[in-house]
Amino acid sequence: MQTKPFRIGTRGSPLALAQAAETRARLMVAHGLPEEMFEIVVLSTKGDRITDRSLAEVGGKGLFTEELEAQLSAGDLDFAVHSSKDMPTALPDGLELSAFLPREDFRDAFIGRTAPSLMALPEGATIGSSSLRRQALIRRRRPDISVITFRGLVETRLRKLEEGQADATLLAMAGLNRLSMPEVATDVMDPRDFPPAPAQGAICIESRIGDCRILDLLEPINDAPTYDAVSCERAFLGALDGSCRTPIAGYAVCDGDHLRFCGLILTPDGSQEHAVELDGHRRDALRIGNQAGTMVRTAAGPGFFADWT
């Protein structure tokens, strides 16, 4: 019988803490355990400390997970809670994504200071975003728009916007909802025109492979449709060797046993793109995602990727 608290690893941002608290609350309900049986352990990651450059310049997605994964591998944490879109497709040996909470809204939110939507912005307006995907999609729709790098916590980016450093910015709607501030969005982007990052809006839990005690703990809070949808999206990324260095978008939707996936790759300037749509049974989620990635890579040809950094 567990007598010591389970140790939950997380980053220290308000959003990360909200995600860890949601995980703890679901586990308390699922197992009838008191709050003191779960200790939230906050770690600072390199991605949190470096905020003046884009992730593409400083190493990609792993910057938000390295410190947590090191302590998880060492046994100092029982499991770690992450934003799924921050996770590299290749995890350290011995670790796995063992559970996903029910997915929040995966769409992007537009926050306009001088106009309510992307298409309403005046010619030559400035949008702040550090995401290569968002930058490419903005340029695809509005090549006249100037895009500058915005990094930092949600609150930091909103403060930069208020200070007039840009006319607008884009954030994940899921994050705004989890921080109880959905009202700051002046528009919500249609995923058919402005598709999200793969795995956006989903909280994942990383644990040690074969740790049956923790797997049994997490199993009741795993949301199967989210698990299958995000697994499909991550397989798409994996087939493209995708990271924060590449403009890749994609999302899967489960309807009963059916899964539909839509994916898109773009050049950084948004001028060229290759899209794919596939569907099938949810049990084939990994195959569908991998096939979709292979299809767009083949259609694009090696020259399409030459300028990706």
- Dihedral over alpha carbons 185, 102, 27, 175 (to 10 degrees): -20
What span, in angstroms and rounded, lies between the C-alpha atoms of 294 and 29? 41
- Dihedral over alpha carbons 251, 239, 48, 171 (to 10 degrees): -20
CA 11 from chain center: how many Å? 14
Q: Are 118 and 138 in contact (CB under 8 A)?
A: yes
Say which of 48, 52, 78, 86 is annotated catalytic: 86
What span, in angstroms and rounded, lies between the C-alpha atoms of 134 and 115? 18
Q: Are 100 and 227 in contact (CB under 8 A)?
A: yes
In terms of Cα–Cα distance, which of 202, 157, 164 is closest to 184?
157
Active site residue 86: yes
Q: Are 172 and 108 in contact (CB under 8 A)?
A: yes
Sequence-ordered list of residues with C-beta below 8 angstroms from that of 119, at least 6 positions apart, any chain: 141, 142
Q: What is the DSSP string of 29-56?
A: HHHT--GGGEEEEE---HHHH--SS-HH
Q: What is the DSSP string of 147-190?
A: EE---S-HHHHHHHHHTTS-SEEEEEHHHHHHTT-GGG-SEE--
As annotated, the active-site residues are: 86
